[in-house]
Amino acid sequence: MSNSKQGAGDEYKSSLFKKKRLQKILSDHGVVSRREAERMILEGRVHVNGIQATLGQSAEFGIDDITIDGVTLAAGDEPVYIMLNKPRGYITTVNDEKGRKTVMSLIRDVDTRVYPIGRLDMNTEGLLLLTNDGDFANTIAHPSYEKRKTYEVKVRGDARKIVQLMRLPIKIDDYMIQAKEVSLSKITEDGGVIRITITEGRNRQIHKMCAVCGAKVQTLKRVSVGTLKLGSLKPGQWRYLTGEEVHSLWSKKALP
């Protein structure tokens, strides 16, 4: 496959076979994200050498027999990187105990097991990345890498005033947050469309920022992550990232 991360090759593949925590092993092999792996371990679904695993336990892939729901963990596939235009009404998890639609149903023809990077709320649309590469996922999702994520928000309220307030530091849930960029794209009859760029990804962050500034969110769409833009990809459609796009996203510096 032509898609590969910067510096990929023997060094990356050999890293799969070192002793490490189980949630990292599951993440590196494209099973689930680390957070969901932790939940699977707590639910008793993961075993090492026939013994139920515990959270924080380490193992060595290729030496220890690691099973998930009774199925042995197989060797990892080549790294896969996908961009999906997530429609409204889908949740960004691999499985859902409530039977709701997940984004995985939109990529059924992908022959490699991947998982979403981060989360978009059920009613949030737009750019969602999926991969089987745990290190890549961490680079995109972790705030320390400062990957810029831009959203288009259609709001109800005084759009010009909302933009002014959005540019200031905002206190949410006992922490301070400040958007990297805020601009007014369009004025509507009852509000406007605002573009907001952030580098964090806290739970319902945009909704909470809007609420503090007196705005009611009508629609919310993520249109870019780092250098990657959603472009003309239609809701529900996906595509593989190019090698150039992957390399660009691997940069550990925020955009200027």
- Would you name the residues annotated as active-site residues? 121
3-state secondary structure labels for all residues of 50-77: CEECCCCCEEEECCECEEECCEECCCCC
User: Regarding beta strands 124-131 and 216-225, do their DSSP bridges make them parallel or antiparallel, or are they unpaired?
Assistant: parallel
Task: Give the CB-side neighbour count of residue 218, counting CA atoms within 13 A.
Answer: 12
